[in-house]
Structure 1
Amino acid sequence: MISEIYYSPVYSGVSKQLNLLDFSFKNSNIQRLKSVLNKNSELKENKLVKFIERTYYYVKIAINKYSNAFSNHLYSQHALFTILAIKIYTKSTYREIIDFIDVSDIIKKYLRIKKVPHFTTIQKFFKRLPSKQIREINQLILTLNDIKADIIALDGSGFTNDYADKYYAKIRQKERKSYIKNHLTIDVKTRLILYYQTSRGPKYDTQFAKPALRQIKKYKPDYIVADKAYDTEPIRKCINEELKSI
């Protein structure tokens, strides 16, 4: 038997907005938790907790607790950055990761929060996060861990924040879009970023290659992996003679 739902005259007269509970559905956050874990079959609960612990630890050392002394101090930068890292780690959307954390008291305990932030709070934090802080956190991880990178990979990828479609760009005569290009050098085994550089506009990958190779020389790699964009004689010479690699 379905119980009747009563609304106050004032509320009903203005707007009668129903939610899932009005239709006897269970909490959607529980379903979100299951879907995230099912989507990432290799993701184990204890592995995720360990990831959260480490992320929070490194962020706590590298950046300040709050971005401004006059902010409301509702959420620390440590918690916001860790939530952002969990989002990327679990391959979730902003809405999904907030729903995911909302039903986990354990994660909230590790994040030192009682109330989960709105997903737009995470988006705004990511937007204003300086690349310098990301670099400092990455450098801290490399410093505190003894890394022996046998195989190192180089690659570059461009991205833009312009969401205009091709037709709109054509009629506006802006078919050639400016974009940011990110060049990464990673350890293939641990997937740690050993060196990265960001450039504006279209540039050849070879301009990034030599500085990157000289930065990773200290890791004494045996092999360097890259695509055809890096297949030039000067780069090969730098790999063979300076790094003593193949």
Structure 2
Amino acid sequence: MSFDGKVALVTGASRGIGAAVARTLAGRGANVAITYKENRRSAETLSLAICDGGGTATTFQVSIEDSDSVQQLIANVVESYGRIDILVNNAGVAGARAFSEIDFSFYAQQFHTNVWGTIQVTQAAVPHFPVSGGRIVNLSSQRAFSPRDGMGVYAASKAAVSTLTQAMAIELGPRNITVNAVAPAVTETDMTAKMPAEKKAAFAALTPLKRLAVPQDVADVIAFLASDEARWITGRTILADGGLT
């Protein structure tokens, strides 16, 4: 797979899966716009590493919940690169809470970021895709298919992302823009670093491959969906969960 000359916008790319996606796309020739919300140092370190390796990357700060911030992001990316060919909606939040303890603030934070953030970044980016089309990959979650351990609200927000992916694919198909989602299970990132070791071991034991994912496992699936080789796949959520579901 080659992304030579393509412009890829990856949200939430300062760490974890997003960082792995940025490295993968840049390593295959893409000009990568890396966004971060708070972790500027990690984003700039990643950008520097990509550039030192011969790639092209630039960092941009954004809060995907805020419409003005999103509009400014897209304006800055287009000013830097001229267009957008690939959008990876990776930024998101997760939280766990027993059903009886869910309040509006807890619900709103996850839906506002995971669902509305995906919508408005996509709305802002699509007008800057070339007439030849492009690729959008959204981040869903295996939890959308298995909402356990108090993660019902998070799972519901990611199920909404999967449904939106289908709707976007239908609307954007005539523009030759494919829209797919990837649904990882528990992945070894700094976001899961505080998960008890016994819980990680339990998830690994339930997975046919007997381990948890690492970010590169998921990044490679996203890169495929962003490539020309995936031109006939759209509207799908791909479970990248090692067979857990």
The interval holding the TM-score normalised by the smaller chain is: under 0.3
Higher strand share: 2
Name which one, 1 or 2, has greater alpha-carbon Rg.
Answer: 1
The two structures have a TM-score, normalised by structure 1, of: 0.26
Which has the higher relative contact order, 1 or 2, with Cα contacts under 8 A spaced 6 or more apart? 2
